[in-house]
């Protein structure tokens, strides 16, 4: 399993602590440094079963500068959202855990982390 984190994020640190406590085998991806490509974002969205706007941090300064709240949330705008996430990775909700079974979860709660652990 892989976990996308921002080390400055308390939710990410909590998720890592729980994974460690459970003895999970995982890889850390600091996605602000190792920025996901558009294709990687598409793959994670498929695994999550979500759309790009579902994992976008709309309160971030970059989101406000881009005017994301005004962007359409439909199939015609999907690539535009994905491109924005790839160009501004800070907009990606965190942490995201990709499980070994091909699924993924946005692991912002202990329950979500445990769910990911149960899938691996």
- Write down the catalytic residue from 1, 5, 7, 9: 9
Please list, in sequence order, all residues whose beta carbon lies within 8 angstroms of the beta carbon of residue 10, skipping any fewer than 6 positions away: none
Is 12 an active-site residue?
A: no
Q: How many angstroms separate the CA atoms of 49 and 120, rounded?
A: 17
Report CA dihedral (11, 21, 97, 73) to the nearest 10 degrees. Answer: -30
Under a CB-based contact definition with an 8 Å cutoff, are residues 47 and 98 in contact?
yes
Query: CB burial class (10 A; 0-12, 13-18, 19+) of residue 118?
Result: exposed
Where in the sequence numbering do the catalytic residues fall? Answer: 9
């Amino acid at each position: 399993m892989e976990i996308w984190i921002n080390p400055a994020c308390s939710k990410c640190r909590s998720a890592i602590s729980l994974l460690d406590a459970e003895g999970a085998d995982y890889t850390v991806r600091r996605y602000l440094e190792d920025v996901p490509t558009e294709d990687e974002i598409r793959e994670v969205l498929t695994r999550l079963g979500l759309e790009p706007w579902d994992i976008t941090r709309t309160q971030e300064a970059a989101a406000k500068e881009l005017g994301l709240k005004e962007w359409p949330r439909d199939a015609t705008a999907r690539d535009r959202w994905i491109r924005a996430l790839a160009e501004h990775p800070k907009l990606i909700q965190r942490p995201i855990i990709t499980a070994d079974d091909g699924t993924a979860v946005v692991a912002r709660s202990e329950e979500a982390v445990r769910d990911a652990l149960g899938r691996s």
